[in-house]
Structure 1
Amino acid sequence: MTSTHIDVTAIDFDVLGAWMDARGLPGGAFERVAPVTGGTQNVMVRFERGGASYVLRRPPLHPRARSNEVLRREARVLTVLRDTPVAAPRLVAACTDESVMGAVFYLMEPVLGFNATVELPEPHAGDPAIRHRMGLEAASALADLGRVDHGALDGFGRPEGFLERQVPRWMGELDGYGALRGYPGPDIPGLAETAGWLERNRPKEFTPGIMHGDYHLANLMFACDGPRVAAIVDWEMCTVGDPLLDLGWLLATWPAPGGVGVISGGVTGLATAAELVDCYAALSDRDLSAVDWYAVMACFKLGIVLEGTHARACAGKAPKEIGDLLHATTLNLFARAQTFM
């Protein structure tokens, strides 16, 4: 959700206080200011003011080219989800005008929960039934998102031709890595075979909906007192497309028996991938007959995304050890894709 270090100049609390006052939010001194750590480079700060608790999210002090636009999109999504059953952070207010603080920012209510890939507290650690149910709750929370009417996000994404664009889009991304000096090109067994299989077996139609875009265990906060998903976090990749790709993403990254997964943190005892599918199917009217296609597509896309860091490492633009690790993860994802084909 953010880096461990926060440059205090990234947040002007005088400006923030005036902005909050103008919106009728509780006033007073800013208290218990502390960083929220772990995840992307966006700045997140927890604080209290006037007896209320908040988390502020904004881009880093030196933002990427699209950082402000990404935060605008997140705020729009969270506004739409605020009055739905979806377990999303509850938005309090958003400032999409960069001139106020030099960047887009928004306030949300703190989430009381934990990331299971980082820690597994009690009672979860000692109760196999709770851990098993955590997996089913991950599928249930995703089904809740899939039922939201995407009409409120008009112009958000391009659902027409969404599935047809996927393989060409990501093969093009992979080809683009060749511009990085020092990258020898993709050495990914099964790449062409997987791309061909995806094109031959692509579902002929789908029902558009809101997609999280990066739905995996590390982007879920679980309630401290039970298996419920307290919040789905990091909505940077959200779009309107085919929500079943989120389910495929969950399957592609889900821990296999023994706790081994692409993004698992070693947690064991969760529901199986087959149980996730059954749970989702019971809560959704979407056609899951091609669910394996979505899992393969997720392995393919995520593998190519991670290969980008390997390519940048070959060009000296990222640490070699990180590039090597993510290249190995890419190979694991393409191997996992074979199990679904």
Structure 2
Amino acid sequence: MTSTHIDVGAIDFDALGAWMDGQGLPPGPVTGAVPVTGGTQNVMVRFERAGVPYVLRRPPLHARPRSNEVLRREARVLAALRDTPVPVPRLVAAQTEREPVFYLMEPVDGFNPSTGLPEPHASDPAVRHRMGLEAAVALAELGRVDPVVLPGYGKPEGFLERQVPRWRAELDSYGALDGYPGPDIPHLEETARWLTDRLPASFTPGVMHGDYHFANLMFAFDGPRVAAIVDWEMSTIGDPLLDLGWLIATWPSNDGHVPGLPSPRELVECYAALSDRDLSSVDWYAVMACFKLGIVLEGTHARACAGKAPKEIGDFLHATTLDLFARAHDIMSGLLR
């Protein structure tokens, strides 16, 4: 986590302290408040009180329409996973009855690999290779959680059947934006047909992270273990194998910031050794992840064409969408191993 330009002074720490008193937390003045980033637009601030460190997570000061509901869901899933083996930030307390919703968690003793590698990770290729496998280990642990811990959290019935129509409709909706010429995405129709024709017959519902990729993991400083899975904004009850597909679809190249990572197939083999889920359709989940994420990113390109987002960002994300659909085509063709 690194500093960002959040106005810490805009947070009412006196009111926060009074609320913490009501939660039975150690009393005293708030000290050492510094902003941190967590990969989202939400506000995160680290501070201490009575010598105990905390991280506050709350919506941005100019909240998005669903900001409070998203944090309610995050707090709920972190509470449900708190006493499981799944590595998550440990929830301390949450204020969900009124807005703005916020919660406190313990700071994670770890680092995000997208910001650089400490030792021994930087110089030991075996540690870096194992980091990749540990991403699959943590995901398999999440896949073992019984979804009864989160009643009513998602709609697993028909989850897979909804995916292609849901995201095709999302792509079609971009046509309402003036200036967007429509999707110029090679393999779009082919991918949609492939997914529809090969829909897995059934799945076992479970807790999904929803955005499971390398940048949403923090690793222990002393080795390759995942210290915490972060940013649970897109979590739901669905098919956990889509998280595995998402990990494959977004897997960094070996010339990236963490060289020497295992191959996607090694990830699958590691996950399979720890899970009783049927992985015979794992390519379907990877292609589905490429399809969904590519369409989501194309939305920013469409808004950029309409003058509602920076052109350079829209162009970059459109290129990423093309890369994702090319990756989907490689998987469908049996080329990605």
Could you say which TM-score interval applies, normalised by the shorter chain?
Answer: over 0.9
Matched, 1:229 2:222: no
Aligned to 1:277: 268
Aligned to 1:34: 34
Shift of 1:8: 3.4
Structure-to-structure mapping, 1:72-91, within 5 angstroms: 72-91=72-91
Structure 1 runs (4+) deviating above 6 angstroms are none
Identity %: 77
Aligned to 2:188: 191
Amino acid paired to 2:45? V
For 1:183 and 1:2, how far apart are their aligned partners in 2?
36
Aligned to 1:176: 173
Matched, 1:332 2:323: yes
Cα offsets for 1:283-310 (capped at 9, x unmatched): 0000000000000000000000000110
Contact 2:31-2:48 within 8 A present in 1 as well: yes
Aligned to 1:304: 295
Structure-to-structure mapping, 1:111-122, within 5 angstroms: 111-122=108-119
Aligned to 1:320: 311
Shift of 1:2: 9.1
Residue 44 of structure 1 aligns to a residue in which SS? strand
Matched, 1:212 2:203: no
Matched, 1:253 2:250: yes
For 2:142 and 2:20, how far apart are their aligned partners in 1?
30
For 1:318 and 1:201, how far apart are their aligned partners in 2?
36
Contact 1:77-1:153 within 8 A present in 2 as well: yes
Structure-to-structure mapping, 1:121-132, within 5 angstroms: 121-132=118-129
Structure-to-structure mapping, 1:42-121, within 5 angstroms: 42-98=42-98, 102-121=99-118
Contact 1:57-1:106 within 8 A present in 2 as well: yes
For 2:11 and 2:320, how far apart are their aligned partners in 1?
36
Aligned to 1:8: 8
Cα 1:20–1:293, aligned 2, differ >3 Å: closer, same or farther?
same
Shift of 1:3: 8.1
For 2:89 and 2:262, how far apart are their aligned partners in 1?
25
Cα 1:63–1:79, aligned 2, differ >3 Å: closer, same or farther?
same
Contact 1:3-1:39 within 8 A present in 2 as well: no
Contact 1:211-1:242 within 8 A present in 2 as well: yes
For 1:162 and 1:39, how far apart are their aligned partners in 2?
27
Amino acid paired to 1:206? F
Amino acid paired to 1:165? R
For 1:179 and 1:73, how far apart are their aligned partners in 2?
30
Cα offsets for 1:70-95 (capped at 9, x unmatched): 00000000000000000010000000
Shift of 1:32: 1.1
The equivalent position to 2:149 in structure 1, one of 130, 149, 152, is: 152
For 1:2 and 1:294, how far apart are their aligned partners in 2?
33
| Structure 2: segments with no counterpart, 5+ residues | 333-337
For 2:254 and 2:213, how far apart are their aligned partners in 1?
17
Cα 1:312–1:3, aligned 2, differ >3 Å: closer, same or farther?
farther
Cα offsets for 1:86-143 (capped at 9, x unmatched): 0010000000022xxx400000000011111221111101000000000010000000
Shift of 1:9: 5.4
| Structure 1: segments with no counterpart, 5+ residues | 260-265
For 2:252 and 2:263, how far apart are their aligned partners in 1?
8
Residue 113 of structure 2 aligns to a residue in which SS? coil
For 1:191 and 1:3, how far apart are their aligned partners in 2?
39
Number of equivalent positions? 332
Residue 115 of structure 2 aligns to a residue in which SS? coil
Aligned to 1:263: none
RMSD (Å), alpha carbons = 1.2
Q: TM-score, normalised by structure 1?
A: 0.95
Matched, 1:288 2:279: yes
Amino acid paired to 1:283? L
For 1:285 and 1:323, how far apart are their aligned partners in 2?
41
Shift of 1:38: 5.1
Cα offsets for 1:216-261 (capped at 9, x unmatched): 00000011111000000000000000000000000001123433xx
For 1:145 and 1:331, how far apart are their aligned partners in 2?
30
Residue 32 of structure 1 aligns to a residue in which SS? strand
Contact 1:2-1:39 within 8 A present in 2 as well: no
